[in-house]
């Protein structure tokens, strides 16, 4: 199981170590540093690194490498999932997961890590349970603790630990009972030069914020549940009920949690689904050319809305890694602002909202190194955007019912579409 954990910052310093079994010397990280040196970009460090006696499994988040050391055959996904859980927990506790935040709260961090693993076996990883065991630090609590000498470690066995609903504690009380659900869809797409779609798929999630008193039992039904045939559920969802009736039935955890995530792909052989191919909400017209022997290149880019179901496309941000040969650019945006970093060659254009009547465009010239041959590679254009009040796949919640409690909760649902990895090749 997981033997040790080292936290490494971007400059290659180990700033925290934790061992769950015998102590492993931090020199084991040298193998990691070697791999880090070889990698061209920080994110290119391979996640599994073998060393003569151990394996190092790492994730990179918030510019911190979380390097786990294992000694025997352990499923790597188990380790990676756990590491991500550690990061989520830190974020949950400290608001941000940065080196400074971790150092500021080093004792809490240590207590948390101790609570999350025992001898390398996961012990308590649910945020609800952890928070009962170890209270998150707040300025107020620290002050109070200092004055009263009380502690931020729970004295009682967390109620959820062994119940059939380990994700929920008992005795939850709210004056305002509310349950909000966000349906958020991210579209990943690759569009080729000519504007046709090579791949497009939707990664959707339903995130919930449930603050309900007692032990509410919720059911959530959809207008078009057939859309969801590739889903991953939070453990609270009753799978049998879903299989039989396509209804989500669950006792929710308290607070924020991800109820489910789903995946809709563009190519589906399902006969009933052939109509719901993934719609591409924006289009890009581009003309990026270099001529042999000329030290100038042309750059033209126009954006427009495509299938957006009448909703506006906003928060549009275009970025592109221009070829190394480009020295500088001289471009004019019809709206928004653009920047070009001559060192990293990163062009980014903050467009804002797309007005269908007056399409935003960015045109001008790029200056190249004099005498150099024209660049070999074609830049790829990355687009980010948001569309409020719409889920691209067409998923719609039908109703939410609550059983098991008497009061009437306040319910809300919100839809949003975002660009995930939305890439246009030129």
Restricted to residues 271-300, the positions that interact with another protein (CB under 8 A) are: none
Adjacent-strand bridge partners of 206: 183, 260
In the complex, minimum distance from the CB of residue 88 to another protein, in angstroms, rounded to a whole number: 12
Question: What x/- string results for residues 184 through 223 when contact with another protein is judged by CB under 8 A?
Answer: ----x-x-x-----xx-x-x--------------------
DSSP state of 373: P
**Is residue 416 classed as helix, strand or coil in its secondary structure?**
strand
CA atoms within 13 Å, Cβ hemisphere of 188: 9
Q: What tokens does 10 get?
A: 């971007």
Residue 309 sits in the site that holds another protein (CB under 8 A): no
Give the total of residues touching another protein (CB under 8 A).
Answer: 107
Assess 156 for contact with another protein (CB under 8 A): yes
The angle formed by the CA atoms of residues 354, 359 and 365, to the nearest 5 degrees, is 115
Query: Rule CB under 8 A: which of 382-421 touch another protein?
Result: 382, 421
Burial class for 83, CB neighbours closer than 10 Å (0-12, 13-18, 19+): buried
Residue 114 contacts another protein per CB under 8 A: yes
Q: Is 175 in the site for another protein (CB under 8 A)?
A: no
What is residue 367's three-state secondary structure? strand
Cα 82 to Cα 75: distance, rounded to the nearest angstrom = 11
In the bound complex, what is the minimum distance in angstroms from residue 77's beta carbon to another protein?
Answer: 4
State how far the Cα of 422 lies from the Cα of 249, in Å rounded to an integer.
34
The H-or-E segment that residue 264 falls in is strand 255-265
Smallest CA-to-CA distance from 228 within 190, 184, 275, 265 is with 265
Q: How many CB atoms lie within 10 A of CB 121?
A: 9
Q: Is 86 helix (H, G, I), strand (E, B) or coil?
A: helix
Residue from 33, 91, 182, 234 touching another protein (CB under 8 A): that is 234
Which residues make beta-bridge pairs with 256? Answer: 209
Question: Taking CB under 8 A as the criterion, which residues in 350-389 touch another protein?
Answer: 376-378, 380, 382
Min separation Cβ 185 and another protein, Å: 12
Among 31, 33, 62, 76, binds another protein (CB under 8 A): 76
CB of 399 to another protein, least distance (A): 22
Residue (152 or 213) nearer to another protein, CB: 152
Q: Which range touches another protein (CB under 8 A), out of 65-73, 326-334, 346-354, 391-399?
A: 65-73
Segment 131-150, which members bind another protein (CB under 8 A)? Answer: 139, 142-143, 146, 149
Q: Which stretch binds another protein (CB under 8 A): 118-126, 173-181, 279-287, 355-363?
A: 118-126
Residue from 91, 98, 105, 289 that binds another protein (CB under 8 A)? 105
How many Å apart are CA 313 and CA 282, to the nearest integer?
8
Determine the interface stretch with another protein among 34-42, 301-309, 325-333, 334-342 (rule: CB under 8 A).
Answer: 34-42
Asked whether the beta carbons of 212 and 400 are under 8 A apart, the reply is no
- Smallest gap from Cβ 3 to another protein, in A, equals 11
């Amino acid at each position: 199981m997981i033997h040790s954990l080292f936290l490494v910052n971007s400059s290659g310093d180990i700033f925290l170590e934790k061992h769950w079994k015998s102590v492993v010397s931090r020199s084991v990280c040298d193998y990691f540093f070697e791999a880090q040196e070889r990698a061209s970009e920080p994110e290119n460090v391979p996640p599994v690194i073998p060393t003569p006696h151990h394996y190092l499994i790492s994730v990179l988040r918030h510019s911190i490498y979380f390097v786990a050391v294992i000694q025997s055959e352990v499923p790597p996904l188990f380790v990676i999932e756990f590491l991500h859980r550690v990061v989520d927990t830190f974020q949950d506790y400290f608001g941000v997961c940065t080196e400074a935040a971790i150092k500021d709260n080093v004792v809490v961090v240590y207590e948390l890590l101790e609570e999350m693993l025992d001898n390398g076996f996961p012990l308590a990883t649910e945020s609800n349970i952890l928070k009962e065991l170890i209270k998150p630090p707040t300025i107020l609590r620290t002050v109070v603790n200092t004055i009263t000498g009380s502690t931020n470690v729970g004295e009682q066995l967390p109620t959820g630990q062994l119940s059939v609903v380990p994700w929920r504690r008992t005795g939850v009380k709210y004056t305002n009972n509310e349950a909000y659900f966000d349906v958020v869809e991210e579209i990943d797409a690759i569009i080729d030069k000519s504007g046709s779609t090579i791949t497009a798929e939707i990664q959707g999630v339903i995130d919930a914020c449930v603050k309900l008193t007692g032990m509410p039992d919720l059911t959530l039904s959809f207008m078009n549940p057939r859309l969801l045939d590739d889903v991953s559920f939070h453990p609270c969802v009753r799978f049998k009920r879903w299989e039989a009736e396509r209804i989500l039935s669950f006792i929710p955890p308290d607070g924020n949690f991800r109820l489910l995530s789903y995946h809709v792909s563009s190519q589906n052989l399902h006969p009933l689904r052939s109509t719901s191919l993934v719609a591409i909400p924006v289009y890009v017209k581009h003309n990026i050319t270099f001529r042999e022997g000329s030290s100038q290149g042309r750059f033209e880019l126009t954006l427009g809305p495509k299938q957006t179901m009448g909703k506006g496309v906003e928060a549009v941000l275009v970025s592109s890694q221009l070829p190394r040969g480009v020295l500088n650019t001289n471009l004019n945006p019809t709206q928004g602002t653009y920047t070009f970093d001559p060192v990293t060659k990163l062009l980014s254009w903050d467009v804002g909202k797309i007005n269908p009547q007056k399409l935003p465009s960015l045109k001008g010239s790029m200056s190249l190194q004099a005498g150099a041959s024209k660049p070999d590679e074609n830049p790829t254009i990355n687009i980010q955007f948001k569309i409020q009040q719409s889920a691209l796949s067409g998923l719609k919640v039908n109703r939410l019912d609550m059983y098991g409690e008497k009061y009437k909760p306040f319910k809300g649902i919100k839809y949003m579409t975002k660009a995930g990895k939305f890439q246009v090749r030129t």
